[in-house]
Structure 1
Amino acid sequence: MEPYQLTATQALAKFKDSTLTVEEYARSLLARIAKRDDAVKAWAYLNPEYVIQQAKQLDSIPPGSRGPLHGVAIAVKDIMYTKDMPTQHNSPIYEGDEPKVDAAVVATLRHAGGLILGKTTTTEFASTATGPQTRNPHNPTRTPGGSSSGSAAAVADLQAPVALGSQTGGSTVRPGSFNGIFAYKPTWSAVSREGVKTYSMNLDTVGFFARSVQDLQLLADVFALEDDDDDDASTLQDGFSIKGSRFALVKTTVWPQAGPGTVAALGAAAKVLRDHGAEVEEIELPPEFDRMPEWHGVILDSDARATFLPEYRIAKDKLAPLIVDHVENANKISRAAQLEAFDGVAALRPLLDGIAGKYAAILTPSVIDEAPVGIEFTGSPAFNKIWTALHVPVVNIPGFKGENGMPIGLSLVAPRYRDRHLLEVSKAVGEIFQAQGGWWTRS
C-alpha cells in the first residue's frame, strides 16, 4: 500500500512505529495530487513547497511531544481562514485574499499536529448550487456535489485522508454520498465556526469527510465531542452490536422526490440490518414536521439577507444572482414569517430528540439518487435540510450503488449531542453496508 492510500488512523500508526516519516507521506500525497489534479480539480490552492516545509517541521518534533494528529494530512474547504494560505470563497471579491489568521477549526487541527495540505474548491461562498470545476473522481462527467465539492472529491480520490467541509443545507452529507465516502455533520455548534464564512448563523455546521469511521472518531476526539455520561457510554465500551438494536426508517415528507437508486438502497439497507438481527421500524414523523423544508428555506433566506449585505454593498456586480436575491429579499419573506420559522423549528428540535432517542439511530436517505450528470448543478439537498435545521448529528454511510454504478449513501441520525453514540453505530453499520451493499470505499 502506498502512503497516499492510508487512512488517517493507519498513517498515525506508521508515524508512531517510525516506519513512515511525515515527509515521505507528504511527498506521496503530492505525487497523487499531481497525477490526478487535471482530472478531478479538487484544489483551490496548493503549495507543495509549504507542505514539505510543514512535514519536515513535524518530523523534527520528539515523539513524546507530538500531538494526537501528528502528521495527518488535512484538506480545508476554501471558506475557512488559513493564516498561511489564501481564503477566496470562490469569489472574485476575495481573489488572493490572505486573512493572516486560522479559523478555530484549522487552529485546533494544527495544534493537534495536523499537516494542512491546501484549500479545496467550493461553490461561491458555499451558497450557490452552481459547482466549481471539480469533477466526481468515480466518473468525471458527474458532479462531486457541493458546496464542499473539493473536500469530498479529494478524500474519495485518495488525495487526502480527511477534509473539512460545512453544511447549511446538505453540503457535507450530499457530497459524501455522491463520492462514496463517510461524511459527518456534527451537532450544530459543537465545533466552533469562528473564522468560517457565514451563510446562515442558525444552520451552518462544520463537517468532516473521511474514508473510515475510525478517522471521524479521531477527529471527534480532537474536538472534544462528548455525549453525557448517562447516555449509553457503558454499553458501547465493547462497540455497538447491531443484533438486538432498533432502527427507525424515516422517509420524510420529501420522499416523493426519491429516485430509483435511493429507493432501492433504503430497502436493501433495511433488509441488511434485519438480516443481522436488528429491528427496523418504518415510522412517520408527526405532521408538524411537514413544514420543515419550507421553514429551512425561510431561515436560510433570512439569515443570508444579513450575511451578504457587506459584499452586496461593496461589489454587487460580482455576486451570483442567488446571493443578490437573498439580500434583496426576492422571496418577500416577512419578519412574521421569519419568526414563525425560527420558533417552529426550535419547538420541533426536542420533539425529534425524543423520537430519535428511542432508537439506535434513524435511517433515512442522504440524496435523491446518484450524482447528476454535469458539473454545473451540484445536486439537490432535499433530504438533508430537515436534519440540518433540527441541529442533529448526521453521518452518511456509503455502501450502495445506483443504476449507473455510482455510489449512493444513506444517513444515520441521532438526537442532538449524541455524536459519539452515532459514530459507534455508524462504524458497525458501515461495515455491513459496505460488505453487502455493493460499494466499498476506496483505499
Structure 2
Amino acid sequence: MQPFELSLTEAARAVHTRELSPVELTASVLERIGAVEGRLRAYVTVTADIALAAATRAEREISTHGPRGPLHGIPVGLKDLIDAEGLATTASSEVRAGHVAERDSHVAARLKAAGAVLLGKTHTHEFAYGLTTPQTSNAWEHDRVAGGSSGGSAVAVAAGGATFALGTDTGGSVRVPAALNGVVGLKPTYGLVSRAGVTSLSWSLDHVGPLTRTVRDAALVLSATAGHDRRDPASVSGPPPVDHFGGGGLGGAGDLKGLKVGVPRNHYFDRISPEVEEAVRRAIDRLVELGAELVDVEIPMARYIQAVQWGLMVPEATAYHERSLRDAADLYTPDVRVLLEAGALTSAGDYLRAQRARTMMRDAWARMFDGIDVLAAPSVPMTAAKAGQEAVDWADGTTEAVSDSYVRLSAPANITGFPALTLPVGHDRAGLPIGMQLMARAFGDATVLRVGRAYEESTGEAGRLAPLAA
C-alpha cells in the first residue's frame, strides 16, 4: 500500500509510531495528484513547495517533541472559499481574479495549529452556488458530475489526492459530492465550526465540514476544527468528545443496543432510484443487526422544504454579491448570474416568511427527535448524473432539475442546523457510489459519528479509493 492510500487515522498512526514520515506521506500524495489531476481537475492550485516545506517542518517537530495530535504532518486540501494567508481565494470564479487572502480563516488557523500540511485549494461550483462543480470530474467515472459545491474536495479525497479535505455545506455541498464520490462527509451542527474567513453563500445556512475516507477520520477533523470563535457571530463552544485513536465520545464500535433509528415514511424515499433505496434500506437493516431499534417517523413540513431553502438562500446570496454583481456581472458564469439576479426579485416579506417557516420547521424536527436518536435516509436520490445532464425523469412522471434533486434530501439539515453525516453504503449497477445520511438533533454530532463508525466497521470496507482507470 502506498502512503497516499492511507486514511487519516492510518496515516496518523504511522506518523505517530515513526513508521512513516510526513515528508514521505506528502510526497506520495503530491505524486498522486500529479498522476490524476489532468483527468479530474480537483484543484484550483497545488502548493507543492509550501506543502513539502510544511511537511519537513512537521517531521522535525515530531522528531523533537512528538506529534501535537492526529493531524500533525497530514496533507489536507482546502475548498477555495476558505482563506489561507498568502494564497488566492478565487471561489472558482473570474470575479475573484487576483484576490489573495491577508490572513488565515479560523479553520485554516486551527489546522495549521494542529500541524496539518496544506496541499492547495480545491475547486468549488462558482461561489458554491451549485450542486455539480462542472470543472471537476467524478472520481469514479470521468463523464459524471463530481457533485457540488465541494466537488474538488470530495474528488481529491476519493482519488488519493488529499488525505482529508474541508468543504462548505449550504444545501448539501459537503454531503452531495461525498456521496457521489464514495467518501464520508460531515455537516456539523450550525455554529460548531467557525466560518470566519470563509466566503459566504448564505449566512444563515452555511457550514464548514470535513470530507474524509472514514467516519473516524471525520471525527478527528471535527475535534481539531470545532470551537468558539468571536469573529463568527453564530459560533458556539464545544466539540464532541473524541480522542485521537480510541473510541472517546464515539462509544464502542459495533454496539448500537438501545439506539432508536428513525426511518422516514415520507420525503426521503419519494422520487429516488430503486438502487439507492435498496442500498440504503439494506444499510438500515445492518444497523438493526448491530442492535438498533427502528422507528417509523413522519418528516414534518416536508412540502415546504424546497421553498424555505430557496427563500433563505437566494436573497442572502444576492445580498452578499450585490456590489460585484453590479460592477462585474459579466464575469459570473451564466447559471450563477441568473440565480443572483433572481434574488433581487425576492421581497422582504417572502424572506421573513421563510425565516418564520424555518423556526417552525426547526421546532417540529426537534420534537421528532424526542422519539429517536438518529434519522437514517438516503443522502441523494440518485448516483452521479452524466456531465451536462440537466434533468431527471422520475417513475411517477415528474421531471426534476438535477441540482434540485441533489439538494432535496440534504436541505433539511441546513434549514434546521442539525448535524448530518453521509457515508458510503453500496454501489449501483454501473459501479457508482451510494450514500446513506445520518442526522441527529442539534449538537448530536457525536451520535451520528458513533452510528456511522459502527456501520462502517461492521462492513470492513471503509476507506476505499476510487478505482481510477490506468
CA distance in 2, matches of 1:143, 1:350: 35
Paired residue for 1:248? 262
Task: Please give the alpha-carbon distance, in whole angstroms, between the structure 1 residues aligned to 2:56 and 2:44.
Answer: 24
Q: Which residue of 2 aligns with 1:32?
A: 32
Structure 1 pair 440–421 and aligned structure 2 pair: CA distance change class (3 A): closer
Q: Does 1:333 align with 2:346?
A: yes
Q: Which residue is 2:282 aligned to?
A: 268
Residue aligning to 1:422: 448
Aligned partners of 2:187 and 2:429: how far apart in 1? Answer: 27
1:64 is aligned to 65
- Residue 225 of structure 2 is matched in structure 1 by 223
Q: 1:384 aligns with which of 375, 391, 410?
A: 410
What residue is the counterpart of 1:280 in the other structure?
294
Aligned partners of 1:7 and 1:212 also within 8 Å: yes
Aligned counterpart, 2:457: 431
Matches within 5 A, 1:352-363: 352-363=365-376
Q: Which deviations, in whole Å up to 9, do the C-alpha atoms of 1:83-140 show, x marking residues without a partner? A: 1322111111212421221111111101110101111111110113453321111111
Q: Deviations over 1:345-369 (max 9, x none)?
A: 1232133123224323100111011
* 2:17 match: 17
Over 3 Å counting, the alpha-carbon distance change for 1:228 and 1:242 in structure 2 is closer
The alignment partner of 1:257 has SS state of coil
Q: Distance in 1 between matches of 2:54 and 2:200?
A: 29
CA distance in 2, matches of 1:440, 1:100: 38
Quick check: 1:361–1:412 contact (8 Å CA) kept in 2?
yes
Residue deviations 1:365-420, cap 9 Å, x none?
11011101116767522111112111110000212111312110010000011112
C-alpha distance 335-359 of structure 1, shift in aligned 2 (>3 A): same
Match of 2:422, SS state, is strand
Give 1:173-322 correspondences, 5 Å limit: 173-224=175-226, 226=238, 237-239=251-253, 241-250=255-264, 252-253=266-267, 255-286=269-300, 288-322=301-335
What is the letter of the counterpart of residue 316 of structure 1?
A
What residue identity is the alignment partner of 1:274?
V
Once the two structures are superposed, residues 123-177 of structure 1 have per-residue CA deviations (whole angstroms, 9 ceiling, x without a partner) of 1101134533211111111111111111000101111111000111111111111
Supply the AA of the counterpart residue of 1:266: V
CA distance in 1, matches of 2:335, 2:314: 10
For 1:349 and 1:35, locate their aligned partners in 2 and report how far apart those are by CA, in whole Å.
45
Partners of 1:371 and 1:17 in 2: CA distance: 39
State the SS of the aligned residue for 2:176: helix
Paired residues for 1:338-353 under 5 Å: 338-353=351-366
Determine the C-alpha separation between the residues in 2 that align with 1:331 and 1:162: 37
Are 1:177 and 1:407, in contact at CA under 8 Å, matched by a contact in 2? yes
Shift of 1:240: 6.4
8 Å CA contact 2:169, 2:209 repeated in 1 = yes
Moved beyond 6 Å, runs of 4+: none
Quick one: which amino acid aligns to residue 267 of structure 2?
A: T
**CA 1:357–1:109: 2 relative to 1, 3 Å:** farther
Which runs of no fewer than 5 residues in structure 2 stay unpaired? 228-237, 242-246, 391-401, 466-470
Paired with 1:9 and 1:259, the residues of 2 have a C-alpha distance of 33
Secondary structure at 1:285's aligned position in 2?
A: coil
Partner of 2:433: 407
Number of residue pairs the alignment of both structures matches: 435
SS of residue matched to 1:256: coil
- 1:371 aligned onto 2:393: no
How far apart, in 2, do the equivalents of 1:118 and 1:249 lie?
39
Find the aligned partners of 2:347 and 2:284 in 1 and give their Cα distance.
42
The answer to whether residue 102 in structure 2 is matched with residue 100 in structure 1 is: yes
Distance 1:84 1:93 in 2: 18
RMSD: 2.3
> In 1, Cα distance between the equivalents of 2:254 and 2:141?
35
Distance 2:370 2:2 in 1: 42
Cα deviation 1:216-256 (Å, max 9, x = unaligned): 11112213464789xxx999644562234221012543643
2: CA distance between counterparts of 1:367 and 1:197? Answer: 25
TM-aligned CA distance change 1:237 to 1:278, over 3 Å: closer
What amino acid is aligned across from residue 324 of structure 2 in structure 1?
E
CA contact (8 A) 1:364 1:412 kept: yes
Aligned counterparts of 1:24 and 1:214: Cα–Cα separation in 2 = 23
SS across alignment from 1:306: helix
Query: Relative to structure 1, is the Cα distance of residues 33 and 278 closer, same or farther in structure 2, using a 3 angstrom cutoff?
Result: same
Residue 41 (structure 1) aligns with: 41
Structure 1 residue 332: Cα displacement: 3.6
The residue type paired with residue 120 of structure 1 is T
CA contact (8 A) 2:137 2:144 kept: yes
Could you tell me which amino acid in structure 1 is paired with residue 360 of structure 2? A
3-state secondary structure, aligned to 1:116: strand
Shift of 1:11: 1.5
Q: In structure 2, do the counterparts of structure 1 residues 331 and 408 end up closer, same or farther at CA, with 3 Å as the change threshold?
A: farther
